[in-house]
Amino acid sequence: MKKKRIVVGLLSVVFTLMIVSTASAYTISYYVKDAYWEFYGNPLDHTYTCLSYPGGCYAIEDSTTSGGNLWGSYSITQGNSVHAFCVSTCGMEWGEDGTCHQDTNRMLYFAFASISSEVQGYTLSKFIYGLYGFGFVDCLDACGV
């Protein structure tokens, strides 16, 4: 009887660890590409995100997603990874609804994070478009969040 309890207890621990490790096995990372371009003489950094699931890197309007430096990486659930992908591809138009900074923040929303205020140009784009850009709530609704 005592052996049975120990075995059941050990199996419970193993299954719990498997569930916990599976739930946090997905990551979202964001990158910064220095001085992507200048706005009235002020350098603006480009930001983009990469997801381990469904895989790939994403930037607003297919702007380049190579050559950046990793600035943050966060564990997220598979469900949040799917929602992040959906919200990022929800039809944001650069300069109309936000910039790459807002698109990056839309994905980081699901990791309870946002890009660093040290990213050049972020303070200006945040002032103009807000943290997530225009239409973010509509995208959350469209993606079933």
Pairing of strands 42-51, 26-39: antiparallel
Alpha-carbon distance of 120 to 131, in angstroms, equals: 15
What is the residue-level pLDDT of the chain in tens, covering all 145 positions?
Answer: 554 444 333 333 333 333 334 444 799 899 898 776 666 666 788 899 998 887 888 877 656 667 788 898 999 988 888 898 888 878 788 888 888 899 999 999 999 999 999 999 899 899 999 999 999 999 999 999 8
pLDDT value, residue 129: 95
Contact yes or no for 92/133 (Cβ under 8 A): yes
Alpha-carbon distance of 118 to 112, in angstroms, equals: 18
pTM over 0.85: no
Phi and psi, residue 110, nearest 5° = -80, -5
pLDDT value, residue 9: 38
Place of tokens 């609804």: 97
